[in-house]
Amino acid sequence: MPTRQTEVTHWYLEQLSPAELRPAKAPDIRFDIVRAEIPSPEFGRFLYTAVGGDWYWTDRLAWSYDQWRNWLSRPGLETWVGYVRGTPAGYVELDPQPDGVVEITCFGLLRPFIGRGLGGHLLTIGTSRAWDLATRCPDRKPTERVWLSTCSNDGPAALKNYQARGFRVYDVTTTTGVLPHTPPGPWPNSL
């Protein structure tokens, strides 16, 4: 596959209080957001490739079934999935870290659902669940910080959505790397 050298800007954003969350308006269509409570490597990989395939999400593509299972089975890790008429439309993955910190490690919508007013609401609910994660994990310290990162290879509305929900940029870095001319898509390595 042909590659290109490119500069990638990374933005790191945070909220330090649940009061900083600025909720998006609810969408005009029914949008059910449900926690996937049973760790499923198949479903986790599906969400990762279906959402991230168009945006160069490649870090987990080489993960084995056991790596997926171990990641999704970690205490406190939560996956919240948005559904439109029973169809997965997007997801938020929350990774609890030490000292009351929660990282939103994955967030996004499947391509057919982008631009339909769902992303802001999904991020609102996902961020709320990051702030109240300790209520579902009895041994966990209450959340004091929620953070995430995005980059210039992510969806064009990602950074604006994060900022509109009250996340503030606390660091910016730029790296140079080699990427394929096109992202892997939702079916990486398929013919």
What domains are defined for the chain? 3-180 (3.40.630.30)
Is the Cβ–Cβ distance between 139 and 98 less than 8 Å?
A: no
pLDDT confidence band for 191 (50 / 70 / 90): very low
Residue 97 and residue 79: Cα distance in Å, rounded? 15
pLDDT digits (tens, 9 = 90+) for 84-133: 999 999 999 999 999 999 999 999 999 999 999 999 999 999 999 999 99
62-86, pLDDT tens digit by residue? 899 999 999 999 999 999 999 999 9
Q: What's the pLDDT score for residue 185?
A: 65
How confident is the model at residue 18, as a pLDDT?
Answer: 98
Q: How far apart are CA 176 and CA 178, in angstroms?
A: 7
Q: How far is CA 152 from CA 10, 66, 174, 175, 187, in A?
A: 7, 31, 9, 11, 22
45 φ, ψ to 5°?
A: -70, -40
Is the model's pLDDT at 1 over the cut of 60? no
pLDDT > 90? residue 61: no
**Could you give phi then psi for residue 141, rounded to 5 degrees?**
-70, 145
Residue count of the chain, please give it. Answer: 191
Q: Is the pLDDT of residue 188 over 90?
A: no
pTM of the entire predicted model: 0.91
Q: Has residue 140 got a pLDDT over 50?
A: yes
Question: How many CA atoms within 13 Å lie on the side-chain side of 151?
Answer: 17
